Amino acid sequence: MEEIISIKNLSYGYPGGTVALNDVSLDILRGESIALLGPNGAGKSTLLLHLNGVLSGKGSIEVFGRNIREKKRSELIKEIGVVFQHPDDQLFMPTIFDDVAFGPINMGLDRGEVERRVSSALEKVGLSGYENRYPHQLSLGEKKKAALATILSMDPEIIVLDEPTANLDPKSRRDLVGVMRDLKERGKTVIISTHDVSLVPGLADRVYVLDRKIIAEGTPKEIFLNTELLKKANLEIPPITYLFEVLSCFGYNCSSLPLSMDEAVKYLTDSIETEGGHIHLHLHEHTHEDLRRLKEKYGHH
């Protein structure tokens, strides 16, 4: 498949001396969903701000085969849209309509097309009817959706979301996950930065683990079943995966561990069907010792 983003040897230091990115290289193919996973301070936002030219470090970034330094801003915004971590950085116009219309107006589209794009973008994020609202009247969840709409209205091929679910209540989180799934299904290339491990299995085809440099790359399974890596990167496994490891200490037979609720349901259904309608759990002498070792494995005490 076509490579649409290629980052080579990117390094960036903030004035004052913090080295936020150290020799980062990665490649992203058209239509992929990528999670950029890393703890706070890992350099995720710094990396993503390079993709729309807000920051410019040492190294090269090619989008659709050409260095972004050679591209006009008007060209780049049609190809790649970055939704900032803090929506207040993205919403700066008097009304939501103005914010979502800002990109299309700058692309030189006529009034009718601008209006069509605004209403379609707001509909996609579930904010139809919010056109005349002031950004400061919105909840954080609504602001995050509005910030995403300001990017969707430009209809870029690549959509980048910086910590899309951080600090959201469960409903807003579900809504945003739904919008991101939808983008993926429509064939968009989606890049999501997060330290929220539960978000990754259902959304990402591939994961890059970042901690100033890329410390691992792989499928969600490869990443989450690598305990040493998670410890090193200060990340957890998804709680559902941990629960199944606990169950295995009680004798539940899991040859491989589920990463998501859907997978967990499938595993349980399979075990019930193959074991005569029951799941067999046991409490043996070694169970407590197994549990203790499990806690130690993930650094939980």
Interface with ligand ADP (CB under 6 A): 14, 16, 18, 20, 38, 40-46
Which of Mg ion, ligand ADP, none is residue 71 near (CB under 5 to 8 Å by kind)? none
CB of 49 to Mg ion, least distance (A): 9
Residues linked to residue 191 through DSSP beta bridges, in sequence order = 34, 160
**Site pattern 24..63 for Mg ion (x: CB under 5 A):** --------------------xx------------------
Partner in contact with 176, chosen from Mg ion, ligand ADP, none, beta carbon below 5 to 8 Å by kind: none
Nearest CB to Mg ion, comparing residues 46 and 172: 46
HSE value, Cβ hemisphere, 13 Å, CA-based, for 295: 7
User: Does residue 189 interact with Mg ion by CB under 5 A?
Assistant: no
* The two structure tokens encoding residue 139: 């909840």
* Residue closer to Mg ion, measured from CB, 38 or 156: 38
Using the minimum distance from each CB to ligand ADP, give the nearer residue, 233 or 249: 233
Q: Does 194 bind Mg ion (CB under 5 A)?
A: no
Q: What is the 3-state secondary structure (H, E, C) of 78-142?
A: HHEEEECCCHHHCCCCCCHHHHHHHHHHHCCCCHHHHHHHHHHHHHHCCCCCCCCCCHHHCCHHH
165 binds Mg ion (CB under 5 A): no
Question: Torsion-angle region of residue 277: left (phi > 0), alpha (psi -120 to 50) or beta?
Answer: left
Query: Residue count at the site for Mg ion (CB under 5 A)?
Result: 3
Q: Catalog residues that contact Mg ion under the rule CB under 5 A.
A: 44-45, 85
